[in-house]
Structure 1
Amino acid sequence: MPIPTHKDEDTAVPASNVVLVVFDGVEVLDAAGPSSVFSKAEEMRPGTYRLHIASPGGGTVSTNGGLQFGGTLALQQLPAAIDTLIVAGGDEPAVREAIVEHRIGAWLKDAATGIRRVASVCSGAFALAAAGLLDGREATTHWRWCDRLQALRPQTRVQRERIYVRDGPVWTSAGVTTGIELALALVEDDLGHGVSMDIARTLALPMLRGAEQPQLSQALQAQGAASHRLRELVAWIGTHPQEVLSVEVLAERVQMSPRNFARAFAAETGCTPARFVEQTRVAAAAQLLRQTEWPQERIAARSGFGSVDALQRAFARQHGVTPQRYRDGGERRRPSR
Structure 2
Amino acid sequence: MSATPHKDANAALPALDVVLVAFDGVEPIDLAGPASVFSKAEALRPGRYRLHLASPDGGPVRSNAGLCLAVDGALSHAPTPPDTVIVAGGDAAGVRAAIHARLAPDWLAGVAPRTRRVASVCTGAFVLAAAGLLDGREATTHWAACEQLQVLYPRVQVRRECIYVRDGPVWTSAGVTTGIELALALVEDDLGREVSMDIARALALPLLRDGGQAQLSPMLQAQAAASRRLRDLPAWIATHLQDDLSVAALAQRVSMSPRHFARSFAAEIGCTPARYVAQQRLQAAEQLLRRTQWPQERIAGHCGYGSVDALQRAFVRRHGVPPQAWRRRSGP
State the TM-score, normalized to the length of structure 2.
0.91
Percent identical among aligned pairs is 66
Q: Does the C-alpha gap of structure 1 residues 99 and 322 become closer, same or farther in structure 2, counting only changes over 3 Å?
A: farther
- Aligned twin of 2:283: 283
**TM-superposed deviation, 1:311:** 2.1
Q: Which deviates the most, 190-199 or 289-298? A: 289-298
The 3 A distance-change label for structure 1 pair 326 and 90 is farther
Conservation of the 8 A alpha-carbon contact between 1:9 and 1:195: no
* 1:198-225: CA deviation from partner (whole Å, max 9, x where unpaired): 1111111111011111111211110011
- 2: CA distance between counterparts of 1:148 and 1:322? 39
1:314, CA displacement in angstroms? 3.0
1:126 matched residue in structure 2: 126
* Correspondences of 1:310-325 after superposition (within 5 Å): 310-316=310-316, 322-324=322-324
Q: Which moved more, 1:66-75 or 1:180-189?
A: 66-75
Alignment partner, residue 177 of structure 1: 177
Deviation (angstroms), 1:116: 1.1
SS in 2 for 1:34: helix
Question: For residue 161 of structure 2, what is the aligned residue in structure 1?
Answer: 161
Paired AA for residue 112 in structure 1: A
* Contact 2:140/2:146 (<8 A) preserved: yes
Contact 1:197 1:291 in 2 (8 A): no
- Residue 121 (structure 1) shift: 0.3
Per-residue CA deviations over 1:221-280 (Å, capped at 9, x if unaligned) read 100111011111112111111111112221222222323222211211122212211121
Read off the aligned partner of 1:235 and give its amino acid letter: A
Would the alpha carbon gap of residues 313 and 23 (structure 1) be closer, same or farther in structure 2, given more than 3 Å must change? farther
TM-score, with length taken from structure 1: 0.90
Report how far residue 293 of structure 1 moved: 3.4
Which 4+ stretches in 1 moved above 4 angstroms? 8-11, 316-322, 325-329
Distance 1:41 1:204, change over 3 A: same
Bigger Cα displacement from structure 2, 260-269 vs 211-220? 260-269
Residue 172 of structure 2: SS of its match in structure 1? strand
How far did 1:101 drift? 2.4
- For the residues of structure 1 that align with 2:319 and 2:131, how far apart are their CA atoms? 34
Identify the residue that residue 51 of structure 1 maps to in structure 2. 51
Q: Which residue number in structure 2 is paired with residue 264 of structure 1?
A: 264
Distance 1:316 1:109 in 2: 46
Change (3 A) 1:12 1:306: farther
Q: Is the 8 A contact 1:218 1:279 kept in 2?
A: no
State the shift of 1:47 in Å. Answer: 1.3
Deviation at 1:301, TM superposition (A): 0.7
Task: Using the TM superposition, give the Cα deviation of residue 328 of structure 1 relative to its aligned residue in structure 2, in angstroms.
Answer: 5.4
SS at match of 1:293: coil
Q: RMSD of aligned C-alpha atoms? A: 2.2
Partner SS for 2:119: strand
Q: How many residues align?
A: 325
1:292-322 superposed Cα distances (whole Å, 9 cap, x missing partner): 4321101111111112232234345556665
Q: Tell me if the contact between 1:118 and 1:170 (Cα under 8 Å) persists in the aligned partners.
A: yes
* Equivalent residue, structure 1, for 2:94: 94
Shift of 1:324: 3.8
Structure 2 counterpart of 1:140: 140
Shift in Å, 1:326: 5.6
Is 1:66 paired with 2:63? Answer: no
